[in-house]
A and B are shown apart, each in its own frame.
Chain A
Amino acid sequence: MTSKETYRCELRAAIRQLGDRCLYSAAKWAAELVVGIEPDAPPSSSSSAASASSRATPSTSSASRLLPHHRDGSSFRRRLRSGGAPDVTATPVAGVSYVSTPIPDDDGIDGGGAGDCYLLAKSYFDCREYRRAAHALRGQAGRKHVFLRCYALYMAGEKRKEEEMIELEGSLGKSDAVNGELASLERELSKLRRTGAIDSFGLYLYGIILRDKGCENLAINVLVESVNSYPWNWSAWSELQSLCTTTEILNNLNLKNHWMKDFFLASAYQELKMHEEALKRYECLMGIFRFSDYIQAQIATAHYNLRELDEAEVIFEELLRTDPYRVDSMDIYSNLLYAKECFSALSFLAHRVFLTDKYRPESCCIIANYYSLKGQHEKSVLYFRRALKLNRKYLSAWTLMGHEYVEMKNTPAAIDAYRRAVDINPRDYRAWYGLGQTYEMMGMPFYALYYFRKSSYLQPNDARLWIAMAQCYESAPLQMLDEAIKCYTRAANSNDREGIALHQLAKLHSVLGHSERAAFYYKKDLERMEAEERQGPNMIEALLFLVRHCKAEKRFEEAEIYCTRLLDYTGPERETARSLLRGLKTAESGFPSMDIEHFAS
């Protein structure tokens, strides 16, 4: 109880302080979190519960109007409450003792000339008049003043940079526009840091500047320093997270054990594709921040990445119900709907985000997804392009656009798009896979192998990648069957859902004349198909092979079993089965007679 109250107090103070320093997105994040904390038991604080319910009621009703399946609306939450993490609720921190960080006091500058100056500057800043804000703060020495002045200068520089980028765009796609303020800001902040006259916000700004200048290691150190002294600044955490490109960097961070660290780690795990670990952490955090949309969205994303689409869908629906104007992480939801081919739900989502804010990259991506699902790939590409115009580093948009180009048979453009995705994040196995696929489509299997190798290196447990590689090796021009068998074996060992690997293994072995091994794989394939209750030509093929194999091996009874199973099918197979059965019978009956003959002679 008290711990929840302290969370609340800490966050409330943080919202005020962050907002005061114009760090809006961090303030927004903290504010979202503070309402996400599970209300205490009704008697102790009825007001918060009431506020929570009042927050929830209108949105639920609006959602019920819009969504067809509103009945199981709160089932997810109920489920979580009942079975999801009961022990977590009891001991929220599960044996981990957090380091409590004192909430720093603000500089006492509320009154007087300095305080007024600050208020003026902040208003300017709020109106996005950054240089004016910085000018209003000139000569002020308070830490808060210095921070806001530097921050305003930085923002001004960024704004100018964006403008210049468009003005200077030349034939080389030149992007050498730099934030002109970086050098002077760095000089000032590094001096402040040396003299110790810098607060955690200043450190955060210093970290960003260092990152922009390309001094990433120093940036990491500075950001760690910042979050250790003031952990509630989510922006600092997420900058830090974006710098942690490998698990080694992540593990080497020297972080104080604050509860914000859990959020950081979870999101870092998510980015590093360690989805299970991320999910675990988030579920842990759910114990306290039960109503946090952020956590739910992250959990849903993790589920989606783990290809647990149904679980993810439930959470996303719930999220949309409580927060209908949400755009963040809705692109993941749209991917999910795309994968499930939910036309109307996707169109509904697209419509909603379009009305909310059509110039968000996520919105464009959702619309593009919709068009893609409808098979209108040109339009889809148009919207992906728009999304990329809004955010050039939007990784998934590049990859998805590549897919669209593949659909449009525009292979060069597809390759280009995939390659850009890979250049943004070389660990994106989907784009590598896409590249491989495209080259394979163009009849260059040997060339494609390089890309499949890359992707399977990054995602070694994904059967699809191994199968793709095997298909390359198996293709007519290469005919490297041994390598193909190795890849298929790998795929079969890593949970191949479509069961292609087993079938192909059996086939390849029979082609190579390893009939014993072929029979082994055919049997396994048969078992799999039986377990999944599937029918089809593969089944017939397997049965036919097994009949012949058993016959050749003189295991007539086994052959008969398979043969009778074949009889269940219609078509020419039935006839073949019949004749085979006849052959079996004569062979079986002929066997003793032959023996007799043998003895006789």
Chain B
Amino acid sequence: MSRLMGGGSMKEGGAGVFDLTPHKIAVCHLIQLFAPPAQQAVPFPFHSVAHHNHLGLFLFSLIRSCDDFVEPPLEELINQLKAVGGLASDWLSEHLMNSLSALSSPDDLFNFFDKLRGVLAAPEGANLEDDQILLDPNSQLGVYLRCCILAFNLLSFEGVCHLLTTIGSYCNASDAAYELPEDDDFNNGSELHEFLEDAELDLGTIEFQKYGHNFEAETHSGECSLLHLHAPRSLYSLVEDVQVSVDPKFKHDNAGARSREVVSSLNNNFRSDDNLGILRSRWQIEGYLNMQADFIEKDASTFSFNSFTTYLKQLQKLAPELHRVQHLQYLNALYHDDYIAALDNLHCYFDYRDGRTFQPSIFSPSDIQLGRYETALLCLGTMHCHFGHSKKAFEALNEAVRVSQQNNDDPCLGYTLAAICNLLSEIGIPSTTGIIGSPYSLGTSTGLGTPLSTRQQLLVLLKRSLKRAESLKLMSLLAFNRLALAKFDLKHVKRPLLSFGPKASTMLRTCPTSICKELRLSSHVLRDFGSDGLSLQTENGAFSTSWLKNIRVATNPWLKNLSKLRSSLSNDFDIFQFDAQPSPIPGSILQLAGASYLLRATSWEHYGSAPLVRTNALVYATCFADAASLTELSLAYAKLIQHLAVFKGYTEAFGALKLAEERFLSVSKSRIQLLKLQLLHERALHRGHLKVAQQVCYEFGVLASSVNGVDMELKTEASLRHARTLLAANQFSQAAAVAHSLFCTCYKFNLQVENASVLLLLAEIHKKSGNAVLGIPYALASLSFCQSFNLDLLEASATLTLAELWLSLGSSHAKRASTLVHRALPIILGHGGLELRARANIAVAKCHLSDTSFSISQDPSVVLDPLTQAAEELEILEYHELAAEAFYLMAIVYDNIGKLVEREAAAASFRKHVIALEKPQDEEDPLAHGI
């Protein structure tokens, strides 16, 4: 407590060290009852020492939570008391009520505090009677009492009058609430109470649980073993059920209502009591707002725009000098895609003098000014970035760079550079045009006299930002930069920056080791997050949000149910970090650490190691789900489901997808939706439902933004899929045209990794159209792209295509094809998906069959084994075309070796697949409609 208090008093800046509220007076009164002066060891209402101690612990927990955002009303206090006090509870609450309502004049208050002073032991030296209970002035309770007494003494007469009126309303409010639902409440309450007693857990009320956690976290002594008892889960939920039935108005089964409900419950509290004493401390509101900001960033869809806005407006009315509210309004507007409101609120927030630091009286003016404007610009830039206004974002960020240089604000400069890097890597910029038009922006940094390409500029920027972050010890920025560097390395070949002078001989390849190094360094760096100068603020903020968790549990126990419903989504961190305890690691750090795993998954996807993709995605989904934003989490899920689709076929993938969809229902335009389209398209292509495939392609195109240079990934994928659909429909020239223009776009926007797959597609098109000679150069080009970017799996697939191309040139090339296939085989069998494996198997068989020196009768299994394998896998995928091919080959082989029964079976299967391919039965596809 002392820590909290000390912090509080410092932050409050002397203005009311300790707000005296009716609740605190009630607690003081209870303390007085707990330790009445001049009494024997066990004072009157208590029947045993243990009983007495129960009250003491209860008081202690009350004090611990004395700085909660919202203080409980008297009614709740009395209910809690009943749970603790046992037989004496009636007497206690009666006494409390009476004496509180007896406070009717200022003099009564003065007398009350005079009497309180008697509870405290005299300072050392005074003679003590043995059997007297006296509070040690330095004990927790003693300090609390002294704080209250001091606060009272500091009050002016007006303050005393105010306190008196608030006490009056405190008692009356509870009276009203007390009488209304009387019998219901009491009955249930006592039932609950009895039940708890039966379970030998007389302390196990929910409220107490909360304080118990609190207590446990602080004390190390094991003297109060009762507090360490946790109610078993089942009991817990039973308690909740009872509570829920008591409060029918709290019945909500909408999972998304969690935060909104918290808001509205706070709202009610605000409304019910617009006198002072409900806004606890500025610090707590800050904490509350921070928490809301986190929520909104994580999952905006659970907030309804309007209700949150009205709530914020109300808060603003109550605390007009708390400009942080505007920041929340900005975030609210931003995540609900309201550009105008976001812009207005952003400017409004930063216009106020204490836009960044909120206590102008404490900080010197220079402190306030530091960083305010460049931060404003940085925010403006990221906002434009969010809305996809890349040009405006650049202007704003450039200005931010300029202003922070001007003001020597290095941290902000670092962050701004990082933001620019982010922008550069997110949006597609044609390499032909100079993006960053003005010479002021970045050119100064290089000073090389030669215009750098965008990518080179990005690299330079990243390095600079990294260096800055390192020198400033901004750990999270450092980690972010390392991640960005890894991302860059993954996709770009390093070229020497100097276009003149002695050139170091560089291999034109990406370097997986450097990526690995960056990724490792990134999470390594995060270990020292404590030394990050900027994390301090969030830490404090998090500390004062613990009360909110408290309220959540205390006032709305049904929330537990909700969170349990969602617990599959979030991980079980709660078990380790108690409800009342702030997470030891700030959320942003966790998020960054998680991002490194996601990036690892992506990089392995590129390098073609499916198991590692799966592991990393799994790690992310299980360990970082709490801190992750929904979009990132859905990305991890998407990767997992994709993995399923490739390795286990569509039925399983769609089952998983359905589950994921339910979870991410709220996220619009999400990865999951994208994934669904991808899966649908793949399946349609395999099954030969070309119309469906085309439709899905169109849907894909709609998802991407129409702005040039935005959503590049989506756009490339859309046209890639379009080309593949055309290919499947045997419209070779059109498919080639689409693929060709796609190649041009990729080249223009420097998307080299995508180029590899486009080239491979072109090779496939030529292969299918029967122009094997034309296809070979494309396959070779793709191969070399794959090699330079270390895209192993794609390389294997390109090799396979190459082999197929050679094969189709005639049996004289079978040998060459065979070596090629065998070269690719290890990686295909190790990491490839069903389709690739099947293709490889068929290719192996074909190589053998077209080899003139090979005779089937000698060893039919050499051909038959791969073919059966391929057929099995293709049946899982429902890839009719290839399956038919496999069965056809099998039938021929069986025919040759004279196994007629098997031949017939294979032929029947062949027939089945051919029919399925030619007459795609448009079965009702439930998934296709939900697009």
Contacts and interface: CB of A to CB of B under 8 A. Distances in A.
Interface of A: 163, 167-168, 170-176, 178, 412-413, 415-416, 418-419, 423, 435, 439, 442-447, 450-451, 476-479
Given A412-B368, A450-B343, A477 B399 contact: yes
Nearest to A442: B373
B269 interface: no
Contacts of B348: 419, 423
Given A412-B353, A444-B377, A478-B395, A170 B276 contact: yes
B67 to A, nearest CB: 15
A446 B396 contact: yes
Given A446-B396, A451-B347, A174 B318 contact: yes
A410 to B, nearest CB: 9
A479 B439 CA distance: 10
Contacts of B322: 172-173
Contacts of A423: 348
Contacts of A174: 276, 279, 318-321
A171 B372 contact: no
A168 B353 contact: no
B398 interface: yes
A210 B322 CA distance: 27
A477 B317 CA distance: 39
A450 B347 contact: yes
Contacts, number: 95
Contacts of A443: 402-403, 406
Interface string B338-361: 000001000110011100000100
Contact of A477 (B156, B372, B376, B438): B438
A477 B402 CA distance: 9
A446 B394 CA distance: 10
Contacts of B275: 176
A168 B161 CA distance: 12
B266 to A, nearest CB: 15
Contacts of A450: 343, 347
Given A167-B158, A439-B373, A443-B406, 5 more contacts: A171-B16, A171-B359, A172-B279, A172-B322, A443-B403
Contacts of B359: 171
A171 B13 CA distance: 8
A36 B365 CA distance: 53
Given A173-B319, A444-B373, A178 B274 contact: yes
B376 A447 contact: yes
B320 A168 contact: no
Contacts of A444: 373, 377, 399, 403
B180 interface: no
Nearest to A418: B351
B380 interface: yes
Contacts of B318: 172, 174, 176
Contacts of B438: 477-479
Contacts of B274: 176, 178
B345 to A, nearest CB: 12
Contacts of A178: 274
B399 A172 contact: no
Contact of A170 (B15, B365, B377, B380): B15
Contacts of B373: 439, 442, 444, 447
A442 B16 CA distance: 37
A432 B479 CA distance: 40
Considering the complex of A and B, which 5 residue pairs feature the smallest CB-CB distances, nearest first?
A173-B321, A419-B351, A172-B319, A416-B353, A171-B15
28 contacts: A163-B158, A167-B159, A170-B16, A171-B13, A171-B16, A171-B359, A172-B282, A172-B322, A173-B320, A173-B322, A174-B318, A174-B320, A175-B320, A176-B275, A412-B365, A419-B348, A423-B348, A439-B373, A442-B403, A443-B403, A443-B406, A446-B396, A446-B399, A447-B373, A447-B376, A450-B343, A476-B440, A477-B398
A167 B368 contact: no
A163, A168, A418, A419: most-surrounded residue (chain B CB, <10 A): A419
B395 A446 contact: yes
A338 B928 CA distance: 73
A475 to B, nearest CB: 10
A447 B13 contact: no
Given A450-B343, A476-B440, A176 B317 contact: yes
Nearest to B351: A419
B353 to A, nearest CB: 4
A347 to B, nearest CB: 32
B377 A477 contact: no
Nearest to B281: A171
B777 to A, nearest CB: 45
Nearest to B399: A446
A163 B13 CA distance: 23
A407 B406 CA distance: 21
A173 B360 CA distance: 12
B473 interface: no
Contacts of B12: 171
B369 interface: yes
Nearest to A168: B276
Contacts of A419: 348, 351-352
A511 to B, nearest CB: 16
Contacts of B376: 447
Interface in B356-403: 359, 365, 368-369, 372-373, 376-377, 380, 395-396, 398-399, 402-403
A442 B162 CA distance: 46
Contacts of B15: 170-171
A416 B351 CA distance: 6
Contacts of A445: 399
Interface string B285-308: 100000000000000000000000
A468 B275 CA distance: 46
Contacts of A439: 373
A493 B318 CA distance: 46
Nearest to B438: A479
Contacts of A447: 373, 376-377, 380, 396, 399
B733 to A, nearest CB: 42
Contacts of B156: 167
Contacts of B369: 412
B328 to A, nearest CB: 15
A442 B276 CA distance: 40
A403 to B, nearest CB: 16
A413 B352 CA distance: 9
Nearest to B318: A176
Contacts of B353: 412-413, 415-416
Nearest to B440: A477
A477 to B, nearest CB: 6
Interface string B148-166: 0000000010110010000
Nearest to A410: B365
Nearest to B398: A477
A416 B352 contact: yes
Given A416-B353, A442-B373, A479-B438, A172 B321 contact: yes
Contacts of B279: 170, 172, 174
A445 B406 CA distance: 14
A297 to B, nearest CB: 33
Nearest to B347: A450
Contacts of A478: 395, 438
Contacts of B347: 450-451
B440 to A, nearest CB: 6
A442 B908 CA distance: 81
Contacts of A170: 15-16, 276, 279
B351 to A, nearest CB: 4
A168 B322 CA distance: 16
Nearest to B380: A447
A168, A439, A446, A450: most-surrounded residue (chain B CB, <10 A): A446
A414 to B, nearest CB: 10
Contacts of B158: 163, 167
A476 to B, nearest CB: 7
A494 B395 CA distance: 29
A438 B440 CA distance: 22
